[in-house]
Amino acid sequence: MPPTSDSPFRGASSLIGVLRVQGGRQRRGAGQSRACLPPRKRLSRTPRAGLKPTGIPTGTLLAREETHDRTDRRVGTDVGARLAAADSMTRVPPSVSSESCLGGPLSDQRILDPRGRGLVHLERMIPGPDGGASELFLSGWQPARMRPGEGPPPLLCVHGSTFPGHATFDLPLDGVSFLELLAALGQPAYAVDLPSYGRSQRSNAMERGPSASPPQTRSPEAMAAVAAALNVLRRETGHARIALLGWSWGAALCAALAGQDPDAVARLVLVGPQWFHERPPIIAPGATSIGAYRWVPLPDMRPRRMNGTPPSEHESLVPDAWLETWERAVLDSDPVARFRTPPAIRAPNGTIQDSLDSWCIGDVPYDPKAVRAPSLLVVGEWDQETPPDQARGLFHALSSAQVRRLVLLGRAGHWTVLDRRRNELVHCVHSFLSERLEAS
């Protein structure tokens, strides 16, 4: 539902919440007692191994809230300097409106106003789609002091079938995450961990052996979780419509939700989107005994990341240090991962069962013609998991979208959010979200 006038968050967004940024220091919000502030020991950027959702206070922020200044050279705080290194790649073309989402022009049409903007990092648990019986983990970045209803509609990012959102979109590589790059441009951006993924609450079936329960986190449950996160953002940011970005399986979830609730979705970005393909399935269609989840061992993660990338391009596209950072974050996302040999995470099998029941037998699990929001499809030329022909097929199927665009990223694969092509992806996404579209 759209925001209401009796919202308890009038005058200050609850996503800015108890803590505010002022001069780079934290202070209490009006009417808040010192007891409301989260303990300093919980302000860590990266979750510790073994951290469970119960260790995260519901309704408050794990606020590593700080301002970022281009003159500050400390690692992890100088977002502007790191973004400036990408200027040659991310210059806004003349065809794109240069009006900043924060209300002023983009200085020299570069990716970040050189005066610098304060950014706020937010982490919290939100109620799941089952009336609060379960909880979802939501994290994100936004410009500091942004009031409800100000700025552009927030962007909610939805992950794929294996790895959680916080370890994908909110993972600092060279000190800066994908969400942080967007926020530095004035675009509030958030990511949600779907049920039984990452730091969101896991079902009881995920705590038993895989064969003891049916596949977990089927698409309807996952889509309901996306809707729950979307509605939290609508209510607490003062925007009636939210932009959605889905990656891989997440693209199918976001497209389905955009068709089901068009009044809630401002624009739609689909990165490496899932569609029909001619490759034979690993598991026979109609299989019913695949189990609740699968183990994804550490030795299998890196080869999957590099699938389709020419060996000569590996280091230039994804430095080893970036891969190691990502692997640590993925293992940290599952409290039992490091107790196995080799270390491995649990990934719900609901998405595999859905593929067997629909995609593999020629059925689309949603109606692409119901999508009316302006839509951007982005795919890498080296993508082997969702090759460019899948994006082209979906592009033609989205025939009712007010505006639709297809971007093929050269020298990029399926994992653009986590490799050196991410600056180019940020430029594509931000340009699309900030452009004035006549049909929208």
Cis bond upstream, residue 342 (ω within 30): yes
Query: Which whole-number Å values give the CA distances from 226 to 149, 203, 254, 317, 357, in the listed order?
Result: 21, 17, 8, 30, 21
Residue 31: strand, helix, or coil:
coil
Tokens of 358: 């629909």
User: Mean pLDDT, to the nearest integer, of 373-400?
Assistant: 97
Is residue 11 scored above 60 in pLDDT? no
How far apart CA 440 and CA 433 sit, in angstroms, is: 11
Residue 1 domain-assigned (yes or no): no
Is residue 277 scored above 90 in pLDDT? no
- Model confidence at 282, pLDDT cuts 50, 70, 90, reads low
pLDDT per residue as tens digits for the range 397-428: 999 999 999 999 999 999 999 999 999 999 99
CA-based nearest residue to 154, from 86, 79, 225, 243: 243
Residue 99 domain-assigned (yes or no): yes
Residue 59 domain-assigned (yes or no): yes
How far apart CA 157 and CA 378 sit, in angstroms, is: 14
Partnered with residue 378 across adjacent β-strands are 271, 407
How far apart CA 131 and CA 268 sit, in angstroms, is: 26
DSSP designation for 4: -
Residue 72 domain-assigned (yes or no): yes
- Model confidence at 429, pLDDT cuts 50, 70, 90, reads very high
Residue 11 domain-assigned (yes or no): no
User: Mean pLDDT, to the nearest integer, of 370-395?
Assistant: 97
Q: Please give the full DSSP string across 158-190, using - where no structure is assigned.
A: E--SSS-STTTTS--BTTB-HHHHHHHTT--EE
User: Mean pLDDT, to the nearest integer, of 147-174?
Assistant: 96
- In the chain, how many domains are there? 1
Residue 242 domain-assigned (yes or no): yes
Can you give the length of the chain in residues?
440
Is 99 or 295 the better-scoring residue by pLDDT?
A: 295
Q: Which of 190-204, 265-279, 364-378 has the lowest mean pLDDT?
A: 265-279
Residues 6+ apart with CB under 8 A from 36: 18, 28, 60
Residue 203 domain-assigned (yes or no): yes
CATH number of the domain to which 357 belongs? 3.40.50.1820
Tokens of 419: 């490799």
Residue 19 domain-assigned (yes or no): no
Q: In this structure, are residues 154 and 190 in contact, taking their beta carbons and an 8 Å threshold?
A: yes
pLDDT per residue as tens digits for the range 349-367: 999 999 999 988 889 999 9
Residues 6+ apart with CB under 8 A from 413: 306, 307, 308, 309, 317, 380, 382, 383, 384, 419
pLDDT at position 92:
33
Domain that holds residue 220: 39-434
- Model confidence at 379, pLDDT cuts 50, 70, 90, reads very high
DSSP designation for 361: G
Q: Classify residue 228 as exposed, middle or buried by CB count within 10 Å of its CB (0-12, 13-18, 19+).
A: buried
pTM of the model: 0.77
**Mean of per-residue pLDDT scores for the chain:** 78
Residue written as token pair 């400036």 = 84
Is 31 or 330 the better-scoring residue by pLDDT?
A: 330
Instruction: Report which residue type is found at 102.
Output: L
